[in-house]
Amino acid sequence: MANMHFISPEKLTFERIEEILENKYKLGLSDESKTLIQRSKDYLDETIAKSTKPIYGITTGFGSLCKISISEEDLSQLQSNLVMSHACSIGNVIPKDIIRLMLLLKAHALSMGKSGVQLATVERIIDMYNMNVLPVVRDLGSLGASGDLAPLANLFLPLFGEGEVIYEDEMRPSKEILAELGWEPLALGAKEGLALLNGTQFMSAHAVYTLLKAFQLVKYADIIGSISLEGYDGRIDPFLAPIHEARPHSGQIETARNIRTLLEGSEFIKNEKKNVQDPYSFRCMPQVHGASKDAINYVAGVVETEINSVTDNPTIFVDEDMILSGGNFHGQPLALSLDFLAIAMAELGSISERRTYRLISGDRDNPEFLVANSGLNSGFMIPQYAAASIVSQNKQLCTPCSVDSIPSSNEQEDHVSMGGNAATKTLKVAENVERILAIELMNAAQAVDLRRPGKSSIFIEDFLSQFREVVTFNEHDRVMYKDIESAIEFLKEGRFVGQEAII
């Protein structure tokens, strides 16, 4: 069916997720998953009915309260109490697409039939996604250990009419929206609150969202770096294949190949060069961009495993006749990887700012600050300041979250990942890199235009032509923040003729 994604245990990929988000797919539940979900629920109910021993989180309290048994008539109240008491995410509301991803990823995890939830619960999560009823989730509160407890609790309060949602671009009490849509509040069954709250969907949704941005930004780094190389009258020699075959890191080889391809046919690159060597920020693009690409690909592998995993607790294994309490909710794999991703992204911004600095420095026959009549005009002096400020902030944000741990739940949860903080700060780093690259693009385009009438390659000329539709050549001083904002929006749109064919 067109524009429809059926949730099933089948592997969810980044390509598929991007397709779902960009094309505004509706979600459905496959027959296979309906069977798995119902089978798990039936098994759980039968186990509770015949069990004489306490089952963690199902007939007991939670965390350090696991030693307290709960009566059968209070099992549903236990689960709704859990969600209400744990809904402590505070701070800024997270982006809508991340909320959508949280709903999608949780539905996908529950579809594997190892959580013991009601079919109606998963169907309501899907309904919220499809009707664009987005629970209000905020960016602070998760320790990333017993799952993303606080933000996931806020995500699922609306199932039974609590909390707030964003609906038709307005924040409103969920109870009002449920009434408007004719949805009855759900009564949570045994284990359901725990299944909803134990999980890594806050961390993993941020990770997916940030990686989708990272995949695009590493392409921009090569494109914009190539334009800067042209504007700086740089050499092609450091990008020739033999150098990289002698040190065959895959990201390094890919970057060198990309830059050779991007500059193929350029008049500028064929010019005889006065300088025998370029600064590291130009000639080491394959090594630096390439290392970041390799890191991003590693993190993507970890995240793809995570989003196709069962991360709530306890976990139900029907075929093995077992309900096991473990620690699949612990966010350490994501916390470490997200810290790594933040560092890899920050380095793309760091080397970009250095290229910007070189372009405005008056080297290689470029006018100081890339503007005529400098002195009267400050030209591109202060955009570099802005880029330097953002680079510095990224360095501060790259202090790893995963090395910290503050015990919780009366020491029952005595080692936590802090992956929630790693997730939100890594997104900030990626957004900052987008800003830094946009500033470099402004400078690079100006430097290339100052070298006219020569021409770059067909691809670069097409790219610059599209850029010049939103940011024009700078003849003299003007308000610069508007140009920076336009350059950022240009990159966010992210679709350029011929780009996919080249990189």
State both tokens at 149: 């407890």
**Among 204, 220, 199, residue whose Cα is nearest residue 148:** 199
In which residue are the tokens 């033999």 written? 242
d(CA 52, CA 74): 17
State both tokens at 236: 């092609």
C-alpha gyration radius of the chain: 26
Indicate which residue of 25, 56, 129, 220 is catalytic: 56
DSSP secondary structure string for all residues of 347-380: HHHHHHHHHHHHHHTT-TTPPGGG-TTBTTB-TT
Helix (H, G, I), strand (E, B) or coil at 243: helix
The neighbour count for residue 270, using CB atoms within 10 Å, is: 11
d(CA 166, CA 172): 6
CB of 233 closer than 8 Å to CB of 451 = yes
Cα-to-chain-centroid distance, residue 18 = 11
In which residue are the tokens 């919780």 written? 408
> Regarding beta strands 4-7 and 26-29, do their DSSP bridges make them parallel or antiparallel, or are they unpaired?
parallel
Calculate the dihedral angle through the C-alpha atoms of 199, 200, 206, 208, rounding to the nearest 10 degrees.
Answer: -100
d(CA 487, CA 39): 53
Q: Give, to the nearest 10 degrees, the angle between helix 480-493 and helix 419-449.
A: 110
In which residue are the tokens 């759900």 written? 186
Cis peptide bond upstream of 314, omega within 30? yes
State both tokens at 426: 């890594």
d(CA 152, CA 443): 43
CB of 216 closer than 8 Å to CB of 432 = no
CB of 249 closer than 8 Å to CB of 294 = yes
d(CA 295, CA 311): 24
Helix (H, G, I), strand (E, B) or coil at 413: strand
**Among 269, 270, 282, 266, residue whose Cα is nearest residue 461:** 266
The neighbour count for residue 417, using CB atoms within 10 Å, is: 26
State both tokens at 136: 């209000």
Question: What are the backbone angles phi and psi of residue 317, rounded to the nearest 5°?
Answer: -120, 95
In total, the chain counts a number of residues equal to 503
Quick check: is 129 catalytic? Answer: no
State both tokens at 365: 């026959």
The catalytic residues are: 56
